[in-house]
Structure 1
Amino acid sequence: MRNLRLVGLLAALGVALAACGGSAPPGTTGQEGDQQGGTIKIGSIHPLTGPLAFDGQQMAKAGKFAAERINAQGGIKSLDGAKLQVLDADSKGEPEVGQSEAQRLIQEGAAALVGPYQSAVASNVAAVAERNRVPFLIDVAVADSILEQGYTNTFRIQPNASSMGTKGADYLAELAEASGTPIRSVAVLHEQTDFGKSVLAAFKARAEGSGMKVGPEISYDAVNVSDLTTEITQVKAEGVDALVVTGYYRDGVLAAKAISSVRPDVKVVFGIANGAFDLPQFTSDAGKAGEGFFDANYHFNARDPEMRKLAADFKAKYGEDIRTSSVLAYEAVRVIASGLEKAGTRDPQQLREAISGLSLDTLMAYPGPISFDKTGQNTSATPIVMQVQGGTVRQVFPKEFAEAEPRFPAPPAR
C-alpha cells in the first residue's frame, strides 16, 4: 500500500513539475527564459469602442504598424530575430476596464504595455504595471499625478500637464506680444476629468503670473456632451480677449461649431492639449468654423523626412492620415523594441532598466531624443503651436519647427 501511495505521489509531483516547467515568463511564446527567437508580446490598451474610439482605433493600428516594420527589418536582433506581437485590448474609455485588461494582458504573457489615451485609465494601468513589475509606456495621458506615485515601471513619451499648460500660457503671451495684440483676459473651456483640470491649473498659474485674468473656467463632460452652445454663450457674455479650449476630438469639433454659431468677440481661439484643433480631419469636420484656431500641443515633426515617409506608408496601408496620438503609439513600440535590443533579454525588469537608460531619436517635434528622468517622464517632451491656415494645419511656433508664420490675432470665422 505504501508503495502504491509513493507511486501516486511521484506521479502527481511529475505532473506539477511539468506544469511549472511549461510556463513561460511574461512576453514569451513557446520558449522558456531567454531562449532566442520566438515571439515577444506587447499589450496595447486603448479605447476601441465608445466616444473616444476615433483615436483609440488608429492608435492600435499604429502600434501594430510599428511592430510590423520592426519585424520586417529582422526583429530584435540581440534576441536572434525575435518578432514582436502586439495584443489589443479595449479600455472602453473606463478606468476599471483598462485596469482589468492590463492584468489580463500580463497574464497572457505581455512583456510590456502601451497606451491608453486617457489619464484616468493610465493611473489604473500604471498601478497594475507596478504591481506586476512590467514596463508601461504611456503614449498619451497628460496628468502629472500619474508619475507622482513613486512608480519605477511607468514611462511617458508625451509632455505632462504642467508642461502643456505652462508652455501654452507662454506661447499665447509671446504670440500676442509679437503681434502687438494685448491679451488681458482669457476664458477656459475644458473637459472635466484630471486631464482638463490639470492642464487648466498649470495654464492658470502661468497666465496669471504674466498678468492675464483667467475666467470664467467652464467644464463639461466630454463623453456625454452633445452641444456646447450654452458654454460658448457664457464666454460671449464675459467679453474676454481669448478663449482657451482643452479636450478631445469630438468635443473639439462641437466647440468649433458652437463658436461659429454664437460668435463670441474674442481675438483668438487657442487650444491647449486640444485633441481636435491640430488634426487634418478637423478642417473637414469643422469646415470654415475652425479657420485660424491655434493649438499648443505635442505634435509629430512635419518637417522630418522620416516622419513624412511614415505618414505616406501609413496612409497607403490604412487609407487614413496618421494623427499625432498614433505617432506616439508608434513611438512607444519603438521604445520597447530598442529596450529589448539593448537588454538582450525579454525579462521585464531588465527591459525596464534598459528603457530607463535609452536615448532614442524621435519622430516628434521635440528638441532632443526620447530620454527618461527618474520619474519616467521624457525629458525632451514639449508642445509646439499649430494653426489652421487656409484649411490646413500648419506648425507655426517656435521658429525651429515652423512651416508657416503665425497669423495673430485670429478672430473666429463669421
Structure 2
Amino acid sequence: MRLKSCIAIGTFLALTVTACGGSAPGGGAPDAADASGTIKIGSIHPLTGALAFDGQQMSKAVKLAAEEINNAGGIKSLGGAKLEILGADSQGKPEVGQSEAQRLTQAGAVALVGPYQSAVAAQVATVAERNKVPFVIDVASADDILKQGYTYTFRLQPSSDTLGRYGARYLKELADRTGQKVTKVAYLHEQTDYGTSTFKSFSDEAAKLGLEVGPQITYDALKASDLTTELTKVKAAGVDALAVTGYYRDGLLTAKAIASVQPEVKIVLGVSHGAFSSPVFPRDGGAVAEGIYDSNFNYDATKPESKAVLDAFQAKHGEELRFIPFTSYECVRLIAAALEKAASRDPVKIREALAGISFETVLAFDGPVEFDESGQNKNATPVVLQVQDGKVVPVHPAAKAVAEPRPAAE
C-alpha cells in the first residue's frame, strides 16, 4: 500500500508541477545563481501550546510535500533543484510568529507558509511585505489580513466572509434536504478575529435567508476548560440549530458540553471548525459526534489523488492526516508550481508567478487556485461534511459528496 501511494503521489506531483511550469518571464533562461543549492521555504506553525497537534501535523504535511516534489525530480525549470523546509514554532503567539518569520527570511527562505491563526498571520504578513518575500497562508481566515493593500501575501483557503456566508446558506439547504424546520440559530464561537468575523458574515447572510441568529456566545479558546455554561445558554434560548466556530481542543469541549446539557437542537453545524471535520473527531468526541456537520474547506474526497496523499502520510507518520494540514501540503505544491513558472529563486519573480497562477488543486474548491488583487484565492469555497457511522464524509453540495446528509436523529 505504501509503495503504491508513493508512486501515485510522485506521478501526481510530476504532472501537476510540470503542467504549471515553463520558462522565466519573457522566455529567458534561469538565473545563473539558480543552478545549485536547495530552495528554502519557511514553515511557521504552532508546534507547542494549545494548538500544537494541528501545528505539528501542518509542519509534517509541509515536509511530506517537499519530499515528494524532490523525489519527483525537484524544480525542473531550475535544473532539478530540491526544496528545503526551514521550520519554525510560532507557539501560537503573534509576536513569536513575527520574529520567526524575520529569522527565516534572513536564513534565505524565498517563500513562507503558515501559520494557522489569524492573529499570527497578520504579523507574519508585515514581515513578508517588508522583506518582499511571498507568504502563502494555508490556514488563517480573518478578512482584515488581506485588506492592507499587501502584494506579497496570498491565501489558499476561503476567507472568513466566504466561510460565514456559505455556512448560513448550507445550514438552510441542509435543513431543507433533511426535512428539518430551522428558523432560530444560536452561534457559539471563540473570541478572536477568526471567530468574530466568521460569525458576522454568517449572521449577515442568515438574515437575508430569513434565519434569526442569537444568542451569540463567545469564549477564550486557549483558556477554556469547560463549555457547559455556554451550552446551557443555548438550551435556554430554545433555538432550532447551533452553529459553532472554534479550534480542535475547544471543539471537544463543545461536544462534551452538548452531551451533558443536551440542548435539543435539530442541527449542530460547525462553520470553519477546527474539530468537526477532523477524521479523529468521531473517536475523540464520542457518541455525541454522530450527525454533527461542518461547513469547511477540505480535500476533494472524490479524487484518487487525495487518497494517495492520505495514505502516504499515514504510512510515514502512523497517524491520520487531518483536513487542515492537507491545506499546508497544497501550499508547498503551489509554491513549487510558482517556482516552475518563474524559473527563478528570486522572491519577487516568485511573487509575480503566484499572482498570475492557475493551479489545479486537490482541495474541494470551485475551480483552480487563482488569486484576486488582494491575494485571496477567488475559487476557494467550503463543502459540508458530516459524522456518519463513526467517519467524517462529504455530504453537500452533491458534486463533492460521497454520501447523503442525514437528520441528526438517524
TM-score (norm 2): 0.91
Distance 2:354 2:258 in 1: 44
Amino acid at match of 1:45: I
Task: Work out the percentage of aligned pairs sharing the same amino acid.
Answer: 59
Deviation for aligned residue 1:33:
6.6
Preserved CA contact (<8 Å) 1:204 1:214: yes
Q: Are 1:149 and 2:148 an aligned pair?
A: yes
What residue is the counterpart of 1:290 in the other structure?
A: 289
Give how far 1:121 is off: 0.3
SS of aligned partner of 2:217 = strand
| Aligned equivalents of 1:294, 1:194: Cα separation in 2 | 22
Q: Which has the higher contact order (CA 8 A, sep 6+)?
A: 2
Displacement of 1:297 after TM fit? 0.3
- The answer (yes or no) to whether the contact 2:191–2:218 under 8 Å persists in 1 is yes
Deviations 1:52-110 (CA, angstroms, capped at 9, x unpaired): 00100000000011111111111111111111000110000000100000001001110
2:168 maps to 1:169: yes
Per-residue CA deviation, residues 282-320 of structure 1 (Å, 9 max, x unaligned), is: 011111011100000001111110110111011000111
CA deviation digits over 1:308-367, x for unaligned, max 9? Answer: 011101100011111111111111111111111111110000010011111111110112
Partner in structure 1 of residue 113 of structure 2: 114
The 2-side partners of 1:364 and 1:178 are apart by: 25
Report the equivalent of 1:99: 98
Amino acid at match of 2:338: G
SS for the counterpart of 1:395 is strand
For 1:179 and 1:318, locate their aligned partners in 2 and report how far apart those are by CA, in whole Å.
38
Query: Which runs of 5 or more structure 2 residues have no equivalent in the other structure?
Result: 1-30
2:202 aligns to what? 203
TM, length-normalised to structure 1: 0.90
Conservation of the 8 A alpha-carbon contact between 2:296 and 2:383: yes
5 Å-filtered alignment, 1:9-408, equals 34-408=33-407
Report Cα offsets for 1:186-206 as digits up to 9, x if no partner: 100000000000000000001
Distance 1:136 1:240 in 2: 41
**Aligned partner of residue 280 in structure 1, secondary structure:** coil
Name the SS of the counterpart of 1:252 in structure 2. Answer: helix
Residue 170 of structure 2 aligns to a residue in which SS?
Answer: helix
Q: Which residue in 2 is equivalent to 1:3?
A: none
Task: State the SS of the aligned residue for 1:89.
Answer: strand
* Structure 1 gaps, min length 5: 1-31
Q: CA deviation at 1:181?
A: 2.0
Partner-residue secondary structure (3-state), 2:272:
strand
Q: Name the Cα RMSD after superposition.
A: 1.1
Q: Which amino acid aligns with 2:91?
A: K
| Paired amino acid for 2:123 | N
State the one-letter code of the partner of 1:177: D
Distance 2:325 2:263 in 1: 33
CA contact (8 A) 2:42 2:112 kept: yes
Instruction: Tell me the residue number matched to 2:21.
Output: none
**In 2, are the aligned partners of 1:37 and 1:81 still within 8 Å (CA)?**
no
Cα distance in 1 for partners of 2:359, 2:326 equals 15
